[in-house]
Amino acid sequence: MRECPKCGYLRKPEDNEFYDLDECPKCGTIYIKYEAYLAQKQAEEEAAQWPPQDVQEEQEDLARKTCSKCGKSSDSYLFGLLPWKCPACNTRSWDLPIKKKQNTFLYTSIALGIAAILTIGMIDIQSREKTRQISQQTQAEKLAVQQDKEDARKRAEQGLAAELQAQAERNELIKKESLAAYNALKNMDALLLRGSTYGNYSSALAEARRELDMLKPAYEQTSHLESIFTYYNQAKDVWYLKRNADLSKLCEAYKSIIYENKFTGKLQYCDACLKSCDTIVEIDDRVKRQEVFETVKPYSEELQQKLWSEAARSMRAFEQRWRFP
């Protein structure tokens, strides 16, 4: 009767009627499969206890040494007694292969070490060279940037110098063109200092007007000279109305000039003049109007002197600004 290799159940004859011949009636184990499993497990355990054949051979080789001269092998325990000689031929030839292997390993190690040192050295040299090249390139780029900035600065200075030179030449040309108008207005101030009649004053002012009309309006010097001319011309208007004793127009001119100009100092009799001018609307009597005119007349003379002083002040500013004469 067959015994189950797993549970130990002893098979009975009546079990064959209900169970397969290869199957255990108790635990259902297939006999052949489980026996193969046990055989594999035993082989693995034996392999774990004993080294492989090649390992055994290697261990046996290590336990024996072969003489390179006589070719005989001897157990290693004999070399424990005579480690420097072969027991068979009494020579030291047995250790030549070992020395060759040792020397080969030593030389190979030295060669590999030298190769590693050379490789590391080459890598270090290449790294240093690359670092040097990068440093040189960075320095060259910095120098190029600095050179570009320096070139830009020089170009800017040259451009500024050229612009200043052109402006100086332009100012010199304008100065030549404006000289006649400047002299004509300067003559107005000289004429007033010497003492002038209304006729001479009007003629000199007309000459200044002709010279100003010949200047280009775009010049800054032209606008400056025009403002000076305006003071002289307004003084002429006041002079003309005062000579003709035209009270209404004189008052209108006084108010207009006061409101149009910003004088450097306040007129002393400005409020009194404006108050007197406001009363002429209610005065119809010719005698009373004449009395008011005599009151307003010195006020208008103060305004006239103020216009001439403003013209002289503006003329000095013009001379300083544009370096005249």
The reply to whether 261 falls in a domain is yes
The reply to whether 305 falls in a domain is yes
Classify residue 299 by burial, with Cβ atoms within 10 Å: 0-12, 13-18, 19+. Answer: buried
pLDDT at 64: 65
Residues 302 and 269: beta-carbon distance below 8 Å: yes
pLDDT in tens, 275-304: 988 887 667 778 888 888 999 999 999 999
Residues 69 and 93: beta-carbon distance below 8 Å: yes
The reply to whether 94 falls in a domain is no
In whole angstroms, how far apart are CA 11 and each of 18, 21, 212? 12, 9, 147
Please count the CA atoms within 13 angstroms of the CA of 212 that sit on its side-chain side.
21
Please count the CA atoms within 13 angstroms of the CA of 278 that sit on its side-chain side.
6
The reply to whether 91 falls in a domain is no
98: confidence class by pLDDT, cuts 50, 70, 90: low
pLDDT at 60: 47
Assign 242 to helix, strand or coil: helix
Specify which of 50-54, 201-205, 258-262 reaches the highest per-range mean pLDDT.
201-205
The reply to whether 29 falls in a domain is no
Query: What residue numbers bound the domain in which 305 lies?
Result: 178-322
The reply to whether 308 falls in a domain is yes
Helix (H) or strand (E) run with residue 74 in it? strand 73-75
The set of residues, in sequence order, having a beta carbon less than 8 Å from that of 78 and lying 6+ positions away, is 87
The reply to whether 26 falls in a domain is no
Residue 135 and residue 116: Cα distance in Å, rounded? 28
The reply to whether 133 falls in a domain is no
Residue 15 and residue 27: Cα distance in Å, rounded? 13
pLDDT at 176: 87
Give me the mean pLDDT over the 160-178 stretch.
83
Q: Which two tokens stand for residue 270?
A: 């400005």
Cα–chain-centroid distance for residue 100?
70
Q: Average model confidence (pLDDT) for the chain?
A: 83
| Counted domains in the chain | 1
